[in-house]
Structure 1
Amino acid sequence: MFGAQRLGKGLVPALAGAALAATLLAGCSSAGSSDASAASGMHMTSGAATTAPNPQKQIALYTAMRTLWTDHMQWTYGTVKAFFHNPDSLQPTLDRLLRDQKDLGAAIVPYYGQAAGDKLAALLTTHIQQAVPVLKAAQANDKAALDKAMADWYANAKEIADFLSGANPKNWPTSATEPMMKEHIDQTTTYSVDLLKGDYTKSIKDYDAASEHMMMLSDTLAKGIIAQFPDKFAA
């Protein structure tokens, strides 16, 4: 199985409400642009806000990001469960999960451009595809194959983190994005181990813990976009 003794924790979502988003906005509603350089292929149009921040626009971004990352988590859990215990539902569940990765890429297009959105969608699609060798190796109890698949999965997570940091280095430094993405892999692995064992009670508990982490990651992304592009969130 997955080698639970050395693999990590759990991850997933909870839909954002306006009240929670409003609380999160308390520390990030001030205007001011980042002079951060974009990653290769990124297009940025940030500038100093000339009017006061618009809390409703900020809340809308927080909510939209949380919805997308909630889908990412829920459909990942569903795909892993289907892989181990319900093969007939695997393909449609996986297809829905892959659609969400395109939606996540599209979500950054208004801020960083189409090429950047396509790049993020491609990296996230690889993130999903590389989970398959992990699940196969775990199911076969093939340690060598599992070690290789996990190394590839972590490498892709680092790519995603570095891509985000390149787009917004001031607000998404690698010191934040790389640990967050690694934690995501750790936590996904943990509840996947639970599902492999058929321990659904523990899988739900670990999924809930993972959800909290993913919502923190989602909020970090929203907060960084607002700080980098204050004009887009002005009244």
Structure 2
Amino acid sequence: MNIKILALLLLAFCAQPAWSQTPAASATAVDSPALTTRLALRDLWVEHIFWIRNYALANQAADHAQAKIAADQVVDNASKIANSIAPLYGQPAADQLLKLLAGHWDAVKHYSDATVGKDTKGKQAAVAELTSNARAIAAFLASANPNLPEATLVNMLSAHGGHHIAQIDEFAAHDYAGEARTWQMMRSHILALADALTAALVKQFPDKF
């Protein structure tokens, strides 16, 4: 499997570096296929945080039926995100991306479940999972692409996980005003992730866009 290709695929799961913002904007402004891709990926990634939020809220309220539906939607959304890159990179790469997304979801779910169960050690273990996942992806991306500083990627990936953690904690504390602020930050961040993926795709496959 081509490591550089996977690095580009996973760019959607890292924060948008400052140098990618202008190219993304300029590319999508003049290129309809790029704009279509950007909007589609934005929708998919907003669904990612939307359904995880629904799971966390239902889980906190002990609404097991809704929590299951939300969890199923998280998995379905992850499959759609992964399969969206199959036409460009092939199904094996899409399957690998799905495994990485599954690892992220597992860690967030573990944190939510541990919070509901008041399991301090479980919460700590879940944070360790998220941290390990962020570092692994950052190291992978940095080794594949010298233009992606590993330290920056670790910080940005950790911020995404941190939004999930903050949101779950705020639900547990019934701090809905705080959660509203977190949601706004989370949404802005996830849109930046989607735009970063678009920028990477346009750069890697200019003939397709």
Contact in 1 for aligned 2:83/2:94 (Cα 8 Å): yes
2:207 paired with 1:222? no
Bigger Cα displacement from structure 2, 86-95 vs 68-77: 86-95
Shift of 1:68: 0.6
Q: Which has the higher helix share?
A: 2
Match of 1:141 in 2: 118
Match of 2:85 in 1: 108
Contact in 2 for aligned 1:127/1:153 (Cα 8 Å): yes
Q: List gaps (5 residues or longer) in structure 2.
A: 1-20
2:66 paired with 1:89? yes
Q: Give the one of 42, 45, 55 matched to 1:79.
A: 55
Structure 1 runs (4+) greater than 6 angstroms displaced: none
2:189 paired with 1:213? yes
Larger radius of gyration: 1
2:194 paired with 1:194? no
Q: List gaps (5 residues or longer) in structure 1.
A: 1-20, 30-52
Contact in 2 for aligned 1:172/1:221 (Cα 8 Å): no
Aligned runs of 1:25-44 on 2, under 5 Å?
Answer: 25-26=25-26, 28=27
Q: Name the CA shift for 1:173/1:59 in 2 (closer, same or farther; >3 Å).
A: farther
Q: Name the CA shift for 1:180/1:203 in 2 (closer, same or farther; >3 Å).
A: same
Match of 1:178 in 2: 154
Aligned runs of 1:9-20 on 2, under 5 Å?
Answer: none
TM-score (norm 1): 0.71
Contact in 2 for aligned 1:164/1:172 (Cα 8 Å): yes
TM-score (norm 2): 0.79
Q: Name the CA shift for 1:165/1:215 in 2 (closer, same or farther; >3 Å).
A: farther
Identity of paired residues, percent? 24
Q: CA–CA distance in 2 between the matches of 1:176 and 1:228? A: 21
User: Residue 55 of structure 1 aligns to which amino acid in structure 2?
Assistant: D
Q: CA–CA distance in 1 between the matches of 2:111 and 2:85? A: 29
Q: Name the CA shift for 1:57/1:67 in 2 (closer, same or farther; >3 Å).
A: same
Contact in 1 for aligned 2:59/2:116 (Cα 8 Å): no
Q: Name the CA shift for 1:76/1:218 in 2 (closer, same or farther; >3 Å).
A: same
Per-residue displacement from partner, 1:169-196 (whole Å, max 9, x unpaired)? Answer: 2665534433222110011111111111
Per-residue displacement from partner, 1:98-119 (whole Å, max 9, x unpaired)? Answer: 1000111112222222111111
RMSD of aligned residue pairs (Cα, Å): 2.5
